[in-house]
Amino acid sequence: MKKMLTLFLLLIAIFCSSCVLENEEVKIHPLLDNTNEPIIDFLQPWAFYNKTSKELDKHFEELKTRGFKTIIIQNTSKYNKGEPKECFYDSEKSFPWEKKDFLKKIITICNEKNINVICGISSDDYWWSQTSHEFDEETMNMFNEEETFTIGEILAKYKIQGIYYSNEMYSNSEGFIKSWTKNINKIIEYIEKIDPKMPFHLSPFNFSFYGGSEKQKLSFWKEFFQEINFRKFDYFLLQDGFGALSKDPTTKKCEDVYNLNVKIRSLCLEYSKVNFALNIELFASKGLASDDRVNLQKKYANTLGDVIACFSVSHYYIEGGKNED
């Protein structure tokens, strides 16, 4: 009778364990087991430049209520193949389109609410014509002149808490990395001459079009971390890659994206001083991500960094009208 009871209990245990395994959630890397919410949000100036001070105050009060402590202004000026196009601060250079008081207005409101401001620098539409210039020396020098000019003016005119690199970099096997790492090192060196303690931020992404295999991507990021002279207070905010998925992707697709991010973080820890964190994408291949997907992204992000950035509560939730549960 005891043998039969033991066998029966064993069968129940096996059955229960198989049920747990079948319904088990995606396994999370055990590095950081916390429940931090995003505290860094991105703001694109083109969507906010025409708002009144009262409207901006309301927006940032909402961000503060949601727990955000930092905003990244995606760019403060824009060029097209070296030609000035638009500007969102009081520059000494003449731009065809200007909103000179925008940045000052943002900084003033954020200071009142104890929200940090990280300023994006210049971006150039020509950056995305990579097949035309392949980031050759002449083109990179042009980008660098725009970028350092903007950094110099911003740091001279405003009190901010960090610099953000506005031209987005991405994994590729086209050899662009040599030009990019050289330029980033020039920018970090330039910032250090003005303010040695000013943090530098960037938020690149994985791009399957240029070198789509995992091996190619990891090779790119390894060289990236090896070559750039990051400081221990700089931040690498990797776009988490979920924006290319559907609003409710399969578990397998989520795991694949997450596992790649885990490997990139490992390379970062091995070869660089820079702080690693994820920039979670709230959008989907069509529309916005579901709440379940965003919750999973936050769970993943908590395992890979001490802070979480996102793109973007300002645009999709507050201005876009999506409600959080």
What is the H or E stretch that residue 105 is in? Answer: helix 102-112
What six digits make up the tokens of 248? 């409710």
* pLDDT computed for residue 34 by the predictor: 56
* pLDDT computed for residue 209 by the predictor: 74
User: CA–CA separation, 72 vs 58, rounded Å?
Assistant: 18
* pLDDT computed for residue 210 by the predictor: 75
Q: Is the dihedral of CA 231, 161, 45, 310 positive or negative?
A: positive
* pLDDT computed for residue 163 by the predictor: 98
User: CA–CA separation, 163 vs 154, rounded Å?
Assistant: 9
Q: What residues contact 242, with CB distance under 8 A and at least 6 apart? A: 249, 254, 257, 280, 281, 284, 289, 293, 297
How is domain 31-318 classified at the architecture level of CATH? Alpha-Beta Barrel (3.20)
What is the pTM (predicted TM-score) of this model?
0.89
Single-letter code of the amino acid located at 311: F
Q: Is the dihedral of CA 207, 211, 217, 222 positive or negative?
A: negative
Largest Cα–Cα distance in the chain?
A: 93
Q: What is the mean pLDDT of each run of 10 residues along the chain (325 residues)?
A: 40 37 41 74 96 97 96 98 98 97 98 98 97 96 98 98 98 95 98 97 90 90 98 97 95 95 98 98 94 94 95 94 57
Single-letter code of the amino acid located at 5: L
User: CA–CA separation, 111 vs 72, rounded Å?
Assistant: 14
User: CA–CA separation, 163 vs 104, rounded Å?
Assistant: 15
User: Smallest Cα–Cα separation from 244: which of 260, 233, 228?
Assistant: 260
